[in-house]
């Protein structure tokens, strides 16, 4: 057996084992995904609190915004996965949609000084990239 055949056999075995494991552990994966999402949100809130000197009410609103919007993003991505969508640009469009939603929501929570720091921390660059991708998609 050639090395390519061995490699292809290995890939098939790996793919089948991952598929079967995924089918049996779907609920566990969902719980694990939710836990990871919560940890990510908590870390982001903690980072924002330190960077932008947030008040308690701002932390509350940001937590609510991020929890809702990330959950909605994950739901849409999972729906695309379930529908076997393979077009990368569709996934990118969904991610951009929710990133834009978060961007606009954060703007309504931050004061002018915090917003300026937020933009300088990379949000302005990300917004510009999203706008560029949207313009390209609309051509």
- The structure tokens listed for 29 are 């994966």
Residue 8 reports pLDDT greater than 90 = no
Nearest residue to 48 via CA among 33, 32, 61, 35: 61
Q: Quote the mean pLDDT of the chain.
A: 84
pLDDT value of position 88: 87
81-136 pLDDT, tens digit each: 999 988 888 999 999 999 999 999 999 999 999 999 999 999 999 999 999 999 99
| Block residue for tokens 């694990």 | 32
User: Is 44:69 a contact under the CB 8 Å cutoff?
Assistant: no
Residue 47 reports pLDDT greater than 60 = yes
Contacts of residue 59, Cβ cutoff 8 Å, sequence gap at least 6: 45, 49
Residue 53 reports pLDDT greater than 70 = yes
- The structure tokens listed for 37 are 């999402």
User: Is 99:131 a contact under the CB 8 Å cutoff?
Assistant: no
């Amino acid at each position: 057996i050639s090395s390519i055949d061995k490699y292809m056999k290995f890939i098939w075995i790996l793919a089948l084992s991952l598929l079967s494991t995924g089918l049996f552990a779907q609920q566990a994966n969902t719980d694990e995904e939710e836990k990871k999402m919560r940890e990510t949100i908590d870390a982001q809130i903690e980072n924002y609190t330190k960077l932008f000197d947030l008040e308690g009410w701002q932390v509350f609103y940001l937590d609510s915004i991020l929890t809702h919007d990330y959950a909605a993003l994950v739901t849409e991505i999972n729906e695309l996965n379930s529908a076997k969508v393979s077009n990368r640009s569709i996934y990118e469009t969904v991610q951009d949609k929710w990133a834009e939603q978060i961007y606009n929501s954060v703007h309504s929570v931050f004061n002018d000084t915090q917003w300026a720091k937020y933009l300088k921390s990379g949000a302005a660059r990300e917004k510009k990239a999203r706008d560029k991708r949207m313009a390209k998609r609309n051509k």
